[in-house]
Structure 1
Amino acid sequence: MQLSEIQLRQIWPNAGKRAAVFLPYINATLAEFAIDTPVRVAAFLAQVGHESGQLTWLEEIASGQAYDTGSLAKRLGNTPAADGDGQRYKGRGLIQITGTDNYRACGQALGVDLLADPEQLETPRLACRSAGWFWRSKGLNQFADAADFVGLTRRINGGTNGLTDRMAIWDRAKQVLGVK
């Protein structure tokens, strides 16, 4: 399934001119990672639309310092605060890949060294591909196929943060893509 720029702008009205820049990479990602039905595309666009502020943010707004110590840092594979892994590997990309372990796994899967150059996830191509990798690696098509949007959100976010915005984008995407 290929999206048009008109469709993308209808789904993400705040994306502006960025929609045209990202569109070829989004379409390539949809194909590469089998996000290939209208229901899957609608769910994907809703989630990454929220996570990126409709292409506004490719880097987490927070400093990442919260990922330096404690159980969260350990879960993400970050080393103690002296190394600064929390800031170095804070959320980036359309779906906010976060933490040393995720950067390593994503980079290996995509054939790029994200540990040496984490900012690569802020480029349109890798921001999109990393979101597709995350989607596939977490088995998110099954949630989209089952219309389990809350379960999908929890799998991405760990909770239901931003659920109202995610659902509003999902509703627009379903309407634009003809999902019943």
Structure 2
Amino acid sequence: MPRKTFRGLSLARSAVVLAVGALLATLFAVPASAADPVGQITGLGGKCVDVAAASNANGTPVQLYDCNGSGAQSWTVAGDGTLRALGKCLDIVERGTADGSLVQLWDCGGGANQQWVVNSARDIVNPQANKCLDVQNRSTANGTRLQIWTCTGQSNQKWTAAGTSGGGNPPPAGGFVVSESQFNQMFPGRNSFYTYSGLTAALSAYPGFANSGSDTVKRQEAAAFLANVSHETGGLVHVVEQNTANYPHYCDPNQSYGCPAGQAAYYGRGPIQLSWNFNYKAAGDALGINLLADPWRVERESAVAWKTGLWYWNTQNGPGTMTPHNAMVNQAGFGQTIRSINGSLECDGRNPAQVQSRINNYQRFVQILGVGPGNNLYC
């Protein structure tokens, strides 16, 4: 039987309707029955797939627009592989297959130009054209038309169901902008110590984290934190510092409280690799945990480890001039978070490879979260 491959998805043409419907249902996390709810579908800039003027007339443009919860942004997935709003289908104008063919709302007819597959990379693909649903010119302006385009993997082709289904991801725990599925995608080889539940449990210590500003800013901050964390821990693999020869060097005897847990007890631990007795003291005081006496809690308890990372992110300037949290919320740029974490060793040309590693993580994570990276990535 002849087959055609669509970005890693191989569909038998004789079974295309069933397969498309099943894939849409699976990756939008809904049953493959007629008109199951997806809700809002968000993309670039945290904006929504929207039917212009909430009109259900044939030929109405489908566009990007501020999410508003209206019926013009309420989508359903049907068992025949179509995406529907206002009683009509997402349709490619004139059955086009070329790059730049626009999409519109039209009477549902079951044609190939109304068939869509959602893959694990969060592309919405039209199988006939083997092209992705795409935001024209990568613009986040309200009213920007949607089209199909050769799949590039860029953020203007990434989509998330933001209603009850979450684009194949369950609703984010505790309102966190990163779902567990997205977290797993970011860290496929992570150490089991670094649990998603530990991270979400830690959020209560700093409720402003990834919860300030626009939806885009919230996602950018979460991505920035996790990108730096990934760099510090080798992709959330290392719980403790690997160079044991350094362990005795992290006790500053000039501090009045000394090193009650022992001279070699304050080595790097956790997502930000908390180190030095004075940092364990400050973090413990802020969190209400006696980490000076028991620094090993940072390597025993996932939520405690995550809290120390969030403590640094939200309260410490480090070698920079602002906290990483403020850098993202005030849109100073990802580069300022690098400066605040390790700028004295990496920024201003000191170690460009390390800076680039952090940026690569960040760019990958914002893509997973469906937003752009913003400006000023370098330090």
> Shorter-chain-normalised TM-score: which range?
0.7 to 0.9
Q: Distance in 2 between matches of 1:78 and 1:95?
A: 23
Within 5 Å, which residues of 2 pair with 1:10-89?
10-15=185-190, 18=192, 22-33=195-206, 34-36=208-210, 37-63=218-244, 64-65=246-247, 67=249, 73=252, 85=263, 87-89=264-266
Which has the larger Rg? 2
Asked whether the 8 Å contact 2:250–2:277 carries over to 1, the reply is no
Aligned twin of 2:335: 150
Aligned to 1:109: 286
Which has a greater percent of strand? Answer: 2
Q: Which amino acid aligns with 1:24?
A: S
**Two-structure CA RMSD over aligned residues (Å):** 2.7
Gaps of at least 5 residues in structure 2 are 1-174, 211-217, 317-322, 373-379
Q: CA deviation at 1:147?
A: 5.1
Q: Give the C-alpha shift of residue 101 in structure 1.
A: 0.6
**Aligned positions, number:** 172
The question of whether the paired residues in 2 share the 8 Å contact of 1:30 and 1:41 is answered with no
Q: Which one has more relative contact order, counting CA pairs under 8 Å at least 6 apart?
A: 1
**Whole-angstrom distance in 1 between the partners of 2:239 and 2:257:** 20
Structure 1 residues 68-88: Cα deviation after superposition (integer angstroms, max 9, x where no partner)? 58xxx57999969xx963x21
| TM-score, normalised by the number of residues in structure 2 | 0.41
Tell me the TM-score normalized by structure 1. 0.81
Alpha-carbon distance in 2 for matches of 1:98, 1:176: 31
Q: Which one of 348, 359, 365 corresponds to residue 167 of structure 1?
A: 359
Choose 101-110 or 21-30, whichever is displaced more.
21-30
Structure 1: unaligned runs, 5 residues or longer: none
Write the letter of the residue equivalent to 2:243: A
Q: Is the 8 A contact 2:219 2:371 kept in 1?
A: yes
Among the aligned pairs, what percent are the same residue? 31
Q: 1:57 to 1:176 in 2, by over 3 A?
A: same
